[in-house]
Amino acid sequence: MSSVRCADCAEPLPLKRRLLGRKRCDTCETAHAAEQEAERQRLHREHEAAVAEYREVVGQLAPGVDLHRLARRVDAAREATPLQAEEVERLEAEALSELIELVKTDGVVSSAEDAFVAEAVKKLGLRWLPEQARGYQIAALESGFVMRDPSPAIVIKRGEVAHLHIAAERLELKVEHELRWQSAGGEVPVGQEGLRAVLEGGRGKLVETSRSMQAVDRGSLSVTSQRVVFAGTAEAQEFALGQLLGVRVFSNGLGLQIANRNEVPTFRTRPGDSQLAAATALTAAQRLVGTLPQPPAIPVPTAELGELPSLLKRSGFSEETTGPESQ
Ligand SMILES: [Zn+2]
């Protein structure tokens, strides 16, 4: 019977090993585990090396580099890499984040830098992660850029520009009251029913027990060059940007501080959207009243692309045959 012998060395398998359902003797089992561990480590090192090599290619993305040449390198690297598509995307997103960091180092995004980032994303076929896009848009807004909403959620007037729209819920402050009954021993809550009858007796009193913001309507919040508009399923509200004094920003909501209004219209948004909408509204308002300086027109200096990354050298990639000159 073959099953009673070790699968590796063919020595008879001790009864205990057989009963445990093992196919190898103790010695071979230890050797086998060590081999497997070595193999696992080898695969890990190979993977790390592949990641490093891919980073070397996409890491060449920097302000001012020749995007045409880099796009060809990135295309070739996508072909040559053994990495999975998701990992390639992650490394490319990382490179885009690094580019954005470099663009933001001096505190402003110039129009030339903004154009370079847009061109890089297009030429290299990169994909914005939602969080990354928001971060960049906020940085660009702080430098005076406002985006254009390609598909506005509301009717736009003549001469008005739609900047963005986000999903939003209109919130209202709800104050909960509770009736407390004055008894000799102290206050006894008796619930919310039949308030009037007890109040007329003069021995109960209404006590405010909680305040909370509750959603009363759902729809979209749009920012244009002239207005902030909430278009809900129940009602619509419009606020002129000229009346906007400030925006209160929460992680998942915002409040509009409007001149001569004794409450702050408040909206719940998706996390992250609130910051972007607030920055857009404030930038648009500043542009409307003319207090925003023009975005700086500093050119992006040309930068060296660097030598051919090792992944491409090994894969026999040649840059000379179809350089930008041969177009
Ligand atoms: Zn054995």
Q: Are 46 and 111 contained in the same domain? A: no
Question: Ligand 1 centre and the CA of 42: distance in Å?
Answer: 24
Question: Ligand 1 centre and the CA of 2: distance in Å?
Answer: 13
Q: Are 141 and 240 contained in the same domain? A: no
Per-residue pLDDT of the chain (327 residues; tens, 9 = 90+): 445 899 999 999 988 888 888 899 999 999 999 999 999 999 999 999 999 999 999 999 999 999 999 999 999 999 999 999 999 999 999 999 999 999 888 777 888 888 899 999 999 999 988 888 888 888 888 887 888 888 899 999 999 999 999 999 999 988 777 666 554 444 444 444 433 333 344 455 667 777 788 899 999 999 999 999 999 999 999 999 999 999 999 889 999 999 999 889 999 999 889 999 999 999 899 888 887 766 667 788 889 898 999 999 988 898 875 545 444
CA distances to 73, 104, 310 from 68, in Å:
9, 23, 19
Question: Ligand 1 centre and the CA of 44: distance in Å?
Answer: 28
Q: Are 245 and 175 contained in the same domain? A: yes
- What pLDDT was estimated at residue 138? 85
User: Quick check: is 241 in a domain?
Assistant: yes
Q: Are 228 and 315 contained in the same domain? A: no
Question: Ligand 1 centre and the CA of 33: distance in Å?
Answer: 13
Quick one: how far is CA 237 from the chain centroid? 28
Question: Ligand 1 centre and the CA of 23: distance in Å?
Answer: 9
User: Quick check: is 154 in a domain?
Assistant: no
- What pLDDT was estimated at residue 244? 93
User: Quick check: is 157 in a domain?
Assistant: no
Question: Ligand 1 centre and the CA of 30: distance in Å?
Answer: 10
Q: Are 169 and 275 contained in the same domain? A: yes
- What pLDDT was estimated at residue 2? 46
Q: Are 32 and 140 contained in the same domain? A: no
Question: Ligand 1 centre and the CA of 242: distance in Å?
Answer: 84
- What pLDDT was estimated at residue 180? 64
Q: Are 135 and 176 contained in the same domain? A: no
* CA dihedral of 296, 299, 300, 304, whole degrees rounded to 10: -160
Dmax over Cα atoms in the chain, in whole Å?
Answer: 98
Q: How far apart are the first and last CA of the chain?
A: 72
Neighbouring CB atoms inside 10 A of 52's CB total 12
Question: Ligand 1 centre and the CA of 11: distance in Å?
Answer: 6
- What pLDDT was estimated at residue 166? 94
Q: Are strands 204-224 and 236-240 parallel, antiparallel or unpaired?
A: unpaired
Question: Ligand 1 centre and the CA of 39: distance in Å?
Answer: 20
Q: Supply the mean pLDDT for the chain.
A: 85
Q: Are 81 and 47 contained in the same domain? A: no
Residue with tokens 């090792």: 310
Q: Are 207 and 273 contained in the same domain? A: yes
Of 13, 28, 51, the last residue of a domain is 51
Q: Is 296 exposed, middle or buried (0-12, 13-18, 19+ CB in 10 A)?
A: middle
Q: Are 167 and 273 contained in the same domain? A: yes
Half-sphere exposure of 249 (CA within 13 A, CB side): 14
Q: Are 39 and 115 contained in the same domain? A: no
Joined together, the tokens standing for residue 255 give 């409040």
CA distances to 90, 97, 206 from 133, in Å:
15, 10, 50
Q: Are 85 and 125 contained in the same domain? A: yes
How many independent structural domains does the chain possess?
A: 3
- What pLDDT was estimated at residue 301? 85
- What pLDDT was estimated at residue 226? 95
- What pLDDT was estimated at residue 201? 42
Q: How far apart are alpha carbons 198 and 193 in whole angstroms?
A: 10
- What pLDDT was estimated at residue 295? 66
Residue ranges making up the domain that contains 100: 57-146+301-326
The DSSP secondary-structure symbol of 263 reads S
Neighbouring CB atoms inside 10 A of 277's CB total 25
For residue 104, the SS3 value is: helix
User: Quick check: is 296 in a domain?
Assistant: no
- What pLDDT was estimated at residue 179? 63
